[in-house]
Amino acid sequence: MKRLALFVLLALLLVAAGLGWRYYQFTDAPMAGIPAEASLIVARGDNLPKMLRKLDAMGVATGDPVSWQLLARQTGAAGRLQVGEYLLAQGTSPRALLLQLRDGKVVRRNFTIVEGWNIRDLRAALRKVPLLGQSTETMDDAALMAALGQAGQHPEGRFLPETYAWTRGDTDLDILRRAHRAMEKALDEAWAQRAESLPLKDSAEALTLASIVEKETGIAEERPAIAGVFVRRLKIGMRLQTDPTVIYGMGSSYTGNIRRSDLTTDTPYNTYTRSGLPPTPIAMPGKAALQAATRPAQGDALYFVAVGDGSGRHVFSPSLTAHNTAVRDYLQRLRGRREGGAE
């Protein structure tokens, strides 16, 4: 009798050991059948059995549901599957997947607003983002700003150029809301640290000036000098005479070239025909342009022109005579580069 009991106990121990080994192999072994570049979507209300059915439908070998239930309790994932999209990388084990679902380690994608984009560029780029929800397609700019809680505000320049992370289920409006808040914060900070005696009545004018600076140069260290030229012009009542504002005022009629007739055709944005700043920003300025507009470089320059050597840099001049000389040098360099086959 004792021998029989010992035999039964040994058998039970062997069975338990076998089951334990099988469970151990299940928990940390890579799941078979994971498709390339696959992801699992956990929707609101999904539980573990539904998640397993989704995996089965994808061709993933899930194995024993009871083992999943045991593992979910062991890892603390039972009843705590977080909504979102999860990467199913090759080699993912059941334990690794449940820990992802428990901790909400969802797939995060990035969208970058580029410095110098205008609102048309921004909205067009958002429409092309795969998997991003589209909730503003039928909205005009006024409706868009109202949806952001900014009814009556012009959208130009109001979204900070940065990279924004987003997850499955987010919409274009979510990104725009975050970018708008980021711009408000960056603008408030720049305005609070502004230099004394700026010829700007409020932060909105600083934003407009920053947008012009952003479009005038891609050289970061030149931005304060560019801003300084425009600030000095504003102080003495001299027109800004900046091509990017003219181009913005031309809208869709701009085809890549600006002609003399464009400079003399009056629009609210033509700073050759009108004094002061244009009525709104003309682009999305980055933080460096905001800082340049509110803390411009000191000096006496009233003019600037491209060097003409392909570097994108400018020559700054205090007088029209010196500026005309710089323009002649620019044209000469430009002709030399063209004749030499460089653009």
- In this structure, the chain runs to a length of 343
Domain match, 42 and 95 both:
yes
With a threshold of 0.75, does the pTM exceed it? yes
Classify residue 75: in a domain, yes or no.
Answer: yes
Query: Are 324 and 245 spatial neighbours (Cβ–Cβ below 8 Å)?
Result: no
pLDDT of amino acid 202: 97
The top-scoring range by mean pLDDT among 26-30, 67-71, 239-243, 327-331 is 239-243
Does residue 128 register a pLDDT over 50? yes
Domain-ending residue, one of 170, 186, 202: 186
Long-range CB contacts for residues 6-15, cutoff 8 Å, separation at least 24: none
The reply to whether 337 falls in a domain is: yes
d(CA 291, CA 245): 20
Establish if 252 belongs to a structural domain. Answer: no
Find all residues with CB under 8 Å of 283, minimum gap 6, and list them.
Answer: 116, 117, 118, 156, 157, 211, 214, 215, 244, 248
Give the domain-ending residue among 103, 134, 168: 103
Using only the alpha carbons of the chain, give its radius of gyration: 31
Instruction: Note whether residue 306 is domain-resident.
Output: yes
Task: Identify the top-confidence range among 32-41, 67-76, 207-216, 306-315.
Answer: 207-216
pLDDT at 3 over 90: no
pLDDT band for 5, please (50, 70, 90 cuts): low
What is the domain range of residue 308?
Answer: 300-343
pLDDT reading at 320 higher than 90: yes
What's the mean pLDDT when you consider all of the chain? 90
Q: Convert the pLDDT of each residue in 150-193 to its tens digit.
A: 999 999 999 999 999 999 889 999 999 999 999 999 999 999 99
List residues bridging with 317 in a β-sheet: 303
Is the pLDDT higher at 13 or at 76?
Answer: 76
Q: How many domains are contained in the chain?
A: 3
Report if residue 255 sits inside a domain: no
Summary count for the chain: helices (H), strands (E): 13, 6
Q: What CATH number is attached to the domain comprising 308?
A: 3.30.160.60
Domain boundary among 85, 103, 121: 103
Q: In whole angstroms, what is the distance from residue 229 CA to residue 233 CA?
A: 6
Query: What element of type H or E holds 306?
Result: strand 303-306
Within this chain, do residues 73 and 129 fall inside the same structural domain, yes or no?
no
